[in-house]
Structure 1
Amino acid sequence: MQTYDDMMNYKGKQVMLQQYNTDVAIPFLLSNKNYGILWDNYSITKVGDVRDFQPLSSLALFSKEGDQGWLTATYTDQKNRAKTIQRAESTINYSFLSDMKNFPDSFKLADGMVKWEGKVSSGFSGLHQFSVKYAGYIKVWINGKLLVDKWRQAWNPGSAVVEAEMQKDKKYDFKIEWIPDGSESYLAVKCLVPVAKEATDQYAFSSEAGDEINYYFVSGANADEVISGYRTLTGKAVLMPKWAMGFWQSRERYKTQAELLEVVKEYRARKIPLDNIVLDWQYWKPDSWGTHEFDKTRFPDADAMIKTLHNTYHTRLMVSVWPKFYSGNANYELMNKNGFLYKRNIADGRKDWLGYPSTFYDAFNPKARSMFWSLMNKSLYTKGVDAWWMDATEPDIHSNLPVTERKQLMNPTFLGSATKYFNAFPLQNSKGVYEGQREANPNDRVFILTRSAYGGLQRYAAATWSGDIASRWEDMKAQIAAGINFSLSGLPYWTMDIGGFSVERRYEKPNAANLAEWRELNTRWYQFGAFVPLFRSHGQFPFREMYNIAPSGHPAYSSMLYYNKLRYRLMPYIYSLAGNAYQKDHTIMRGLIMDFASDPKVNDIRDQYLFGPSLMINPVYQYGATSRKVYLPGQNGWYDLYSGAYLKGGQTITAKAPYSQMPVYVKAGAIIPYGPEILYTAEKPADPITLYVYTGQDAAFTLYEDDGLSYGYEKGAFTTIDLKHSESGKTLTIADRKGSFQGMLQNRTFNIIRITPNKAKPLDFNQTPEKTLRYNGKQMMAKF
């Protein structure tokens, strides 16, 4: 699963498997004891501690004055501080639109601030959990300790779970400050008292609906084998096109054809590597959602635009496609005539945020899926659109409704009740697009980006991004755990909005201090984003192109450009990871428990991970930080990526992290292949390849290649070259090339740079290699 709670080890915790904008429901539990459980149920499910969070009134509450039974709530007009309302409250539950009526009559959220103050006491001793759903600025203190300090936009509330140790019957100071986000905003606070210690060693599954209990137990010698078993059950992770591993530029949104083309032109003029430009929602006429037709007043010649992207700029185009239709347009009428649309939202007269009535199609109906693809094919694929951004696939038919009403809006589905099948919509939606495109053009790789996912999504060439997250440091940090957890769920392709999607107002017209923070936030996020499976920048205003974040020569610009180019240099490594994700069921973004399961110190590390087998990534997520703590697992020595300096494992270090660099360490016993400098993945073959060999243990790596575009690899059209370094023999062996594909390189050059604990060498592509081998597909050996 992927959640927004910045957790890694869920022992004793609760996981809610429920599709939401920033939460992804994948019902696969992986244990560091080398087993997994695939829960075969499509309904909303609780895992782990399955008790319901309770209202604050389940604790003993005391007002500011000491009266028992409530907290003191103070509602203040920030424009007129003298205008306050104070009342006793024993619950805080403004969860949904329907709860807005419970605010004091004269209180206006847009100008307001609320405080809850007093004390709390519990009838239990131990670790108490507090869940906080919030929109706006929220701070929570318990006994003077600040546990929550967050912000989130109102149309997509966030959530957090925090913990506090409490002793039975002891009173603790309790305080909440909340500044709502606009005229509709949300806040709910609930709690969960401790359970007996033995209960924290147990995992329960509790689903809303099902005809029987079905689950699969998957065992293996290590985490890779367990995930391989998961994919045996749910499908192979089909290969994305190679260009998807490059950089994608996106924003909310490019409003005209000229604007989009100008951005790509600027990237090429500045020689910033780029493979994919993304066209977000509303390229159609404002009242024509679901037509998939370009608005000719803003996109006068979409065919020519796409040809220019392909032929002049060598750039791919991804477009946003929602499962949504405005009532009355031709596609709506066609889908409705065939009974393929959900009826309730239209019948209830609800309108979306633009003021139009709409609904979604029933992706559980195979004929509806087929027609949905045919509409995409007619208006988009035949024009040359390369990839599909399948947004709002929870499905988010209408935001900020209780889940009971969300289910009503998609009930019944073709297969049965929405309660029974609630979490599986994104799987079926992707299935229709994948199967439709493969039938239309069997040899053109499908690529789908979807906001929600479910078990088995990897078989439909679908990646997932983490939703409409906020542009805050704590949100950046939470993405590390989100990506790790998603990958541990068996799906290898994950990404996020580099820089965050939703932006605090202070960044829209920033003063000098806010501008400096904005640039550093984006720089740190970009450094992190270069080492996740898919490398993608997206968000609301301010614009996210690196030259719009900072001018050329600024440290932010220079650092982002460095990591962009480094990503492209690493393409032989990255594409080999993608090949292994299909051929060997491997995982690209690897929580440390995958490779260091015997080291108990890694169980709770949620801000470090391995990118492939060899690179340990350590994002910097605090403003102004120039160092961070990094744990180096003890089974290995480690090398600083940039300097080549050697460090012993089994220690926590303070790693240098200047503005321009994120700490990255290479595992001793690693071979990292780097390619030439390129501006897009297909610009030229990976020749020469520079092999950085990090000694200290025997090393091996398999270089994988295919044509990058077709499905020939499914029929064996690919090559592998095994690379092995012997520590005792001080030899590097490049084995016979295995396999073939049309257009492969017959001959290439391998430059070799060998780093030892006593001989550091920096990451410098201009340095003279220690050995150079001219390879023709037959085994070669270099002796050191």
Structure 2
Amino acid sequence: MKNSTKLLSINNQKDYLDLKTNGAQFRIYLLDQNIIRIRGTFDDEFSPEESYALVKTAWDDQTDELMKDERQRVKPIPIKLNELEKGHFAINNGHYTLHIYAEPFYMEVEDENGNVVHKDLPKRSYVEDDNGRRTHYSQMGDHEKFYGFGEKSGPLNKYRRRMRMHNTDSLGWDAKKSDPLYKMIPFYIDFNTDSNVAYGMYYNNSNDSVFDMDCEHSNYWLRYSYFQTDGGDLDVFFIGGPTIKDVVEHYTDLTGKTVMMPKSSLGYMGSTMFYSELEEGDDDAIVNFVDTCKKNDIPCDGFFLSSGYTAGENDGKRYYFHWNKKRFPDPQKFINDLEERGALVAPNIKPGILTTHPLDDDFAKECAYVKDRNNDKDQVDQYWGGPAHFIDFTSKDGRRAWSKHMTDSLLKLGITSIWNDNNEYETVDGSALVDMEGAKDKKMSEVRPLMSTIMAKTAHTAIHSYNPNARPYVVNRAGFAGIQRYAQTWAGDNFTSWDSVKYNIPTILGMGLSGVANQGCDIGGFYGPLPEPELFVRWVQNGIFQPRFSIHSANNDNTVTEPWTYPAYTKYIAQAIQLRYKLVPYFYSLMYEAHVTGAPIMRPLVYEFQNDLKVADESFEFMLGSSLLVANVLDKGQTEKDIYLPVGATWLDLHTNQVYEGGQTITIPVDLGSIPMFLRSGAIIPRALNLMNIHKQTIDKLDILIEPTEDSEFTLYEDDGESMAYQDGHFLQTHITTKFDPEGVLINFKRKGDYPTKVKVMNLSVYCPRMAPINVVVADKTLHRYLNADEYAKAKNGWYFDGVTRQAKVRYENPDVNDYQANLEFTMKDLISIQ
């Protein structure tokens, strides 16, 4: 065993600090004012830098050429080493001070206010055990909550959890307890509820590993948590706060922001394995599915095409980049038929090439495969359907071959969306060798979770290369830190149960706090029996708020989960999905916010209300953006629901229009149609009117819902929704601010960008809890007041006060100016006094 208990030397190299101990040696960078890198190794020397996860670096990396369009090379903050007293050293990055103690050796991080936000466990900080496992121990306090860790089951707060980091094909996983799942993101947020300070820890290591967050206890040590890896460096990035919002933003500065997807990716994506497993006529069945959606007033924008379309005509095995001509006799016609209906196709592909695959020899000749431990043969391992070779995405040859076949069989049909599935590489022998950008120095066990991320990058690049103006839509099941730069993700093959509809929520929220803003779960459950009617309705009512929204199933009782599975309940399904489409402008603006800042789309309450300690453990209520609190009905047979409303805002029930003060638990009645939603004071939510298809329809009428009792702001984002033109500045940002006082509400609109908005008619729905306006002025024009709702409905310009909802309804033609104001005046008009 090697234990780092004593500092032997410390050398200032200006750009970094070198430390040697009697155990590990360290290299420390002050990457910026919020990020400190502490790279520790127990080897004789540091191995070359090799990271597919980092987009912000201050050193040369073997992946620099591949990552050149994404990576930002920065100059680290110069090291100024201070010896505060004998054996106590300190360096500072402007916001945080890293203290280094010589004997016993340990490090701690102090913020500007004197809070020790992180501290190694003295005498046991960095350890390599006799089995070669490497562990970083951190001392714990009494007031810590732990969030993130990527895709995990159970409640949001992972205190007292031990979690394994590994990619698995977790069919039918238990939403409360299963671990690990499909993705590996070795990052967490530590929130101290006593100091109200948060920070993050990212471990840049793709070996199998474990996080233990005070699950283990030893009487010989103070309370501790640890990260333990089977190999590689203890490469730790301290991510500063002090808020949880800050931590997520700084972490995504390091690993990348969420990719900007086509707007249509926010629509309902139909899917089921059933349709692509029919012996023939699969194409017609899927087209009929889209038509049936329309007949039932259910919006639909695409179909995730399961892998049955690749089945071999003779043996039924999956042969990717092959179309089964019995099931899909004319793939081009099939794609065109769906396109005419406003539905994209996202075909399923997988990285394992069966040895019976017609293209197996071609891939081998193109040097596309992972090699065996001796590096002289292509590695063969078990896969779905039999023995298979696996594409090596760390190899230029592997990426080139994969892209070529993807282009020839899929992209040339006009497809711009790819569904990467079964890409955990779980069954590949850990001793198999990969190319690693020509270095040929890595085993599969060291890079396993990276393969799926590079697979997503490869698909994204291939789509863009073939059709440079198309905005790629890539969906990935597995992934590592940084997967958000390329793909929308989902939590794999969940089980049909009430536990899943409930505990899938904190799984998505945890992914959002781990930098992956665009995530979802299969609605209705992928594996298991057909969901009962109530469960299905509640699942859809919850699923419409997930960034990825797809009803997808492979039920084990010979059933198919479709929106109209229960005709008596179809109206509830349709109403919920229509609500989703109404919120598309809000969702799209939140997607852009995630693209720029890294902010989650679905947010745990603690993200928005860190000062309210009652929400620190809340797992099931959440915020959609900053304006809308959602408290879905998640338990069978509920007729009442208790809902906690956070301190720091007032809350307006969108169903009853009742206003509640924050900091209390309320009880409301619910029925099968209930979707409890509460508008935060200061909320601004842009909504579409009568949107049924994002592909084919233009949003030319917008309704902005405003709760004006607190000064607020929101940025509405618009672009063409499908091209890469936004990268050249062809977008429109409308910064909306509200200012409230007893005499009125002033709403400012300020536009930036050269994209010509398609919105012709603007509607404002402004809550007026105290009284109706007496006058409404928009862009310096006084609007006519209508007292009759029917007359207002026919008007192009004007306003009307709805006494039931307490909303001032304002309509006007969208002004062709960059800046304008809407002013709702509340001066009391005296109709009685003769004075």
TM-score (normalised: structure 2): 0.69
Q: Aligned with 1:567: secondary structure?
A: helix
Among 809, 813, 817, the residue aligned to 1:770: 809
The equivalent of 1:334 in structure 2 is 362
Asked if 1:40 is matched to 2:201, the reply is: no
Q: Distance in 1 between matches of 2:419 and 2:560?
A: 19
Question: In the alignment, is the contact (CA less than 8 A) between 1:323 and 1:393 conserved in 2?
Answer: yes
Among 369, 378, 382, the residue aligned to 2:412: 382
Q: Aligned with 1:330: secondary structure?
A: coil
Question: In the alignment, is the contact (CA less than 8 A) between 1:362 and 1:410 conserved in 2?
Answer: no
Q: Distance in 1 between matches of 2:764 and 2:188?
A: 42
Identity of aligned residues (%): 25
Asked if 1:632 is matched to 2:673, the reply is: no
The CA RMSD measured in Å over matched residues stands at 2.8
> 1:416 deviation in Å?
0.6
> Given the superposition, is the C-alpha separation of residues 607 and 410 from structure 1 closer, same or farther in structure 2, using an over 3 Å criterion?
farther
> Given the superposition, is the C-alpha separation of residues 362 and 782 from structure 1 closer, same or farther in structure 2, using an over 3 Å criterion?
same
Among 552, 577, 595, the residue aligned to 1:538: 552
Q: Distance in 2 between matches of 1:441 and 1:357?
A: 34
2:813 partner amino acid: R
Question: In the alignment, is the contact (CA less than 8 A) between 1:224 and 1:587 conserved in 2?
Answer: no
> Given the superposition, is the C-alpha separation of residues 473 and 291 from structure 1 closer, same or farther in structure 2, using an over 3 Å criterion?
closer
| 1:600-619 correspondence to structure 2 within 5 Å | 600-619=613-632
The equivalent of 1:167 in structure 2 is none
Q: Distance in 1 between matches of 2:768 and 2:370?
A: 61
The equivalent of 1:739 in structure 2 is 753
Among 721, 733, 736, the residue aligned to 1:708: 721
Among 179, 187, 190, the residue aligned to 1:28: 187
Q: Distance in 1 between matches of 2:352 and 2:668?
A: 48
The equivalent of 2:734 in structure 1 is 721
Q: Aligned with 1:702: secondary structure?
A: strand
TM-score (normalised: structure 1): 0.74
The equivalent of 1:309 in structure 2 is 338
Q: Distance in 1 between matches of 2:160 and 2:326?
A: 56
Q: Distance in 1 between matches of 2:249 and 2:475?
A: 23
Q: Distance in 2 between matches of 1:203 and 1:564?
A: 43
The equivalent of 2:251 in structure 1 is 230
| 1:565-584 correspondence to structure 2 within 5 Å | 565-584=578-597
> Given the superposition, is the C-alpha separation of residues 545 and 768 from structure 1 closer, same or farther in structure 2, using an over 3 Å criterion?
same
> 1:351 deviation in Å?
5.5
| 1:46-57 correspondence to structure 2 within 5 Å | 46-49=210-213
Among 492, 499, 502, the residue aligned to 1:474: 499
The equivalent of 1:296 in structure 2 is 325
The equivalent of 1:16 in structure 2 is 164
> 1:487 deviation in Å?
0.6
The equivalent of 1:550 in structure 2 is 566
| 1:218-367 correspondence to structure 2 within 5 Å | 218-255=239-276, 256-286=282-312, 287=315, 289-311=318-340, 313-342=341-370, 352=383, 354=385, 356-367=386-397
The equivalent of 1:143 in structure 2 is none
Q: Distance in 1 between matches of 2:802 and 2:288?
A: 34
> 1:766 deviation in Å?
11
Question: In the alignment, is the contact (CA less than 8 A) between 1:579 and 1:705 conserved in 2?
Answer: no
Question: In the alignment, is the contact (CA less than 8 A) between 2:630 and 2:678 conserved in 1?
Answer: yes
> Given the superposition, is the C-alpha separation of residues 746 and 340 from structure 1 closer, same or farther in structure 2, using an over 3 Å criterion?
closer
Among 436, 452, 455, the residue aligned to 2:478: 452
> Given the superposition, is the C-alpha separation of residues 263 and 701 from structure 1 closer, same or farther in structure 2, using an over 3 Å criterion?
same
CA deviation map 1:206-230 (0-9, x unaligned): 11111x3322222134323222212
1:375 partner amino acid: H
Q: Distance in 2 between matches of 1:639 and 1:612?
A: 16
> Given the superposition, is the C-alpha separation of residues 767 and 331 from structure 1 closer, same or farther in structure 2, using an over 3 Å criterion?
farther
| 1:83-94 correspondence to structure 2 within 5 Å | none
Asked if 1:407 is matched to 2:407, the reply is: no
| 1:210-225 correspondence to structure 2 within 5 Å | 210=232, 212-225=233-246
> 1:780 deviation in Å?
2.1
Among 502, 506, 514, the residue aligned to 2:527: 502
Asked if 1:441 is matched to 2:480, the reply is: no
Q: Distance in 1 between matches of 2:212 and 2:250?
A: 22
Q: Distance in 2 between matches of 1:764 and 1:363?
A: 61
Asked if 1:559 is matched to 2:568, the reply is: no
Larger Rg: 2
Question: In the alignment, is the contact (CA less than 8 A) between 1:592 and 1:610 conserved in 2?
Answer: yes
CA deviation map 1:164-221 (0-9, x unaligned): xxxxxxxxxxxxxxxxxxxxxxxxxxxx765569855x432211111x3322222134
> 1:349 deviation in Å?
7.9
Q: Distance in 1 between matches of 2:762 and 2:804?
A: 14
Question: In the alignment, is the contact (CA less than 8 A) between 1:290 and 1:323 conserved in 2?
Answer: no
> 1:699 deviation in Å?
2.5
**Runs of 5+ unmatched residues, structure 1:** 51-191, 398-404, 508-516
> 1:677 deviation in Å?
1.0
Q: Which one scores higher on RCO, CA 8 angstroms, separation ≥ 6? A: 1
Q: Aligned with 1:630: secondary structure?
A: strand
> 1:307 deviation in Å?
0.7
> 1:406 deviation in Å?
5.0
The equivalent of 1:666 in structure 2 is 679
CA deviation map 1:637-659 (0-9, x unaligned): 11112222111110122233311
The equivalent of 1:520 in structure 2 is 534
> Given the superposition, is the C-alpha separation of residues 193 and 226 from structure 1 closer, same or farther in structure 2, using an over 3 Å criterion?
closer
> 1:324 deviation in Å?
1.6
2:687 partner amino acid: Y
> 1:316 deviation in Å?
0.7
> 1:47 deviation in Å?
1.8
Q: Aligned with 2:456: secondary structure?
A: helix
The equivalent of 1:730 in structure 2 is 744
The equivalent of 2:7 in structure 1 is none
> 1:48 deviation in Å?
3.1
> Given the superposition, is the C-alpha separation of residues 528 and 376 from structure 1 closer, same or farther in structure 2, using an over 3 Å criterion?
same
The equivalent of 1:186 in structure 2 is none
> Given the superposition, is the C-alpha separation of residues 376 and 779 from structure 1 closer, same or farther in structure 2, using an over 3 Å criterion?
same
Question: In the alignment, is the contact (CA less than 8 A) between 2:392 and 2:434 conserved in 1?
Answer: no
Q: Distance in 2 between matches of 1:449 and 1:749?
A: 34
> Given the superposition, is the C-alpha separation of residues 652 and 762 from structure 1 closer, same or farther in structure 2, using an over 3 Å criterion?
farther
The equivalent of 2:60 in structure 1 is none
Deviates more, 1:282-291 or 1:252-261: 282-291
Question: In the alignment, is the contact (CA less than 8 A) between 1:771 and 1:782 conserved in 2?
Answer: no
| 1:116-155 correspondence to structure 2 within 5 Å | none
2:168 partner amino acid: Y
Among 423, 441, 454, the residue aligned to 1:393: 423
> Given the superposition, is the C-alpha separation of residues 443 and 412 from structure 1 closer, same or farther in structure 2, using an over 3 Å criterion?
closer
**Runs of 5+ unmatched residues, structure 2:** 1-148, 171-180, 192-196, 277-281, 773-799, 826-835
Asked if 1:493 is matched to 2:518, the reply is: yes
Question: In the alignment, is the contact (CA less than 8 A) between 1:644 and 1:755 conserved in 2?
Answer: no
> When the two structures are aligned, how many residues end up with a matched partner?
615
The equivalent of 1:588 in structure 2 is 601
> 1:593 deviation in Å?
1.4
Q: Aligned with 1:407: secondary structure?
A: coil
> Given the superposition, is the C-alpha separation of residues 765 and 230 from structure 1 closer, same or farther in structure 2, using an over 3 Å criterion?
farther
The equivalent of 1:529 in structure 2 is 543
> Given the superposition, is the C-alpha separation of residues 206 and 745 from structure 1 closer, same or farther in structure 2, using an over 3 Å criterion?
same
> 1:282 deviation in Å?
1.9
Question: In the alignment, is the contact (CA less than 8 A) between 1:249 and 1:278 conserved in 2?
Answer: yes
Question: In the alignment, is the contact (CA less than 8 A) between 2:709 and 2:740 conserved in 1?
Answer: yes
CA deviation map 1:726-765 (0-9, x unaligned): 1225323232321122x53374323333243789x99999
2:489 partner amino acid: T
CA deviation map 1:659-702 (0-9, x unaligned): 11122212111111111112111333333222221133222221
> 1:424 deviation in Å?
1.5
> 1:527 deviation in Å?
0.5
Q: Distance in 1 between matches of 2:504 and 2:267?
A: 20
> 1:237 deviation in Å?
1.7
